[in-house]
Chain A
Amino acid sequence: MLTTLSNKSGIDSTYLSIILKITGIAILTEFAVSICNDSGETAIANKIDLGGKVIIISISIPIIVALLELIIEILP
């Protein structure tokens, strides 16, 4: 549904796939962190949290680059 919407509106579908991936990773990380916290393994929970953050930021690099390129394009 989202892909159809993005195609109709002329939005790049790669951005949409990145967003879906990020949301999925966030859900999984959160799930793993809550399980570790429940079992008393806070150190592992913190590591999973950090790993999730790193993965999300590395995946979102194309979006950040696109934003920066747009800002540079607008600047005279």
Chain B
Amino acid sequence: MHLKIVIIIFAILLLLPSNIMANDSALVSSQLDALNLSSFIKEGENYTKESFSEIDINKLLNSAVSGNINNKNLYKTILILLGKEVNLGISTLGKILIIIVIHSVLKNISENIGNNEVSQIAYYVEFILIVTLAMSNFTTIIESIRESITNLISYINILVPILLSLIVTTRKCSKCKYYTAYYFICNNIYR
């Protein structure tokens, strides 16, 4: 019974997180050089330049290692990006509304012609135009989503080696939260 309790306490102690921050900047930089993380960061900057032009990932990583991370700049950039997306959505909505107004005017004219096949064809052509204009807006959205997904996958592929090297260096492979990294690696190997 006592042995069981001791084992449980030992297991809990093993699983408890312990945050140890490095204060010596020279030591941190030497460790980063030893892990050769700078090349990964440089590669990663190619994907973050467009969206996070103001944020230096190297500085961010160094500050994260020493525990003095400043997230305000990151949050500000995310909010600006969100604002841009909302603005784009509103403009798309405005375009669709204008198309609907034009369509309603033309539909009113077409309805007054009569219910002959000619007027029906004219109405269908108008309908095709509305679909075309609405779809052109959605095409740009789909393209931007496709591009961002590709960038995200490439960025994750760059992050996996960094994460692996950090796991190996810190020797905390048993922690549950690192299992997501294993899933990523397994997925990449499988692909």
**Which residues from chain A sit less than 8 Å from chain B, CB to CB?**
2, 5-6, 8-11, 15-16, 18-19, 22-23, 25-27, 29-30, 33-34, 49, 52-53, 56-57, 60, 63-64, 66-67, 70-71, 73-74
A11-B125 in contact given A2-B105, A30-B114 (Cβ < 8 Å):
no
Interchain Cβ contacts within 8 Å, total number: 86
Q: Which of B110-136 contact A (CB under 8 A)?
A: 110, 113-114, 116-119, 121-122, 125-126, 128-129, 131-133, 135-136
Q: Rank and list the top 7 A-B pairs by shortest CB-CB distance, nearest first.
A: A26-B122, A9-B98, A60-B125, A67-B132, A30-B113, A52-B118, A29-B118
Interface centre among B118, B125, B136, B139 (most CB of A within 10 A): B118
- Are the CB atoms of A15 and B139 closer together than 8 Å? no
**Interface hub of B102, B105, B126 (most chain A Cβ within 10 A):** B102
A66-B132 in contact given A26-B118, A30-B116, A56-B118 (Cβ < 8 Å): yes
Instruction: Decide if A73 touches B128 in the complex (CB within 8 Å).
Output: no
Count residues on chain B whose CB falls below 8 Å from chain A CBs: 29
Q: A26–B113 contact, CB under 8 A?
A: yes
Residue of B nearest to A20 (CB): B106
- The interface residues of chain A lying within 8 Å CB-to-CB of B133 are 11, 15
Q: 8 A–B contact pairs at CB < 8 A? A: A22-B126, A25-B122, A27-B113, A52-B118, A53-B117, A67-B132, A70-B139, A74-B135
* B119-A26 in contact (CB<8A): yes
The answer for the CA separation of A15 and B114 in the assembled complex, in Å, is 23
Q: Tell me which residues across on chain B come within 8 A of A66, comparing CB atoms.
A: 132
The reply to whether A53 and B128 contact each other, CB–CB distance below 8 Å, is no
B129 smallest CB distance to A (angstroms) = 5
Roughly how many angstroms separate A48 CA and B63 CA in the complex, as a whole number?
A: 79
Q: How far is the CB of B131 from chain A (nearest CB, A)?
A: 6
A19-B99 contact, Cβ under 8 Å, with A33-B116, A56-B121, A67-B135: no
A26:B110 contact, CB within 8 angstroms: yes
User: Does B80 touch A at the CB level, under 8 Å?
Assistant: no
Q: Which residues of B contact A49 (CB under 8 A)?
A: 116-118
**What DSSP secondary structure best describes chain A's contact surface?**
helix
Q: List B contacts of A29 (CB < 8 A).
A: 118
| Cα-based distance from A60 to B102 in the complex (angstroms) | 17
Complex contacts, A52 vs chain B, CB 8 Å = 118
Q: B109 at the A/B interface (Cβ < 8 Å)?
A: yes
Contact between B117 and A6, CB atoms less than 8 A apart: no
Minimum CB–CB distance for B136 against chain A, Å: 6
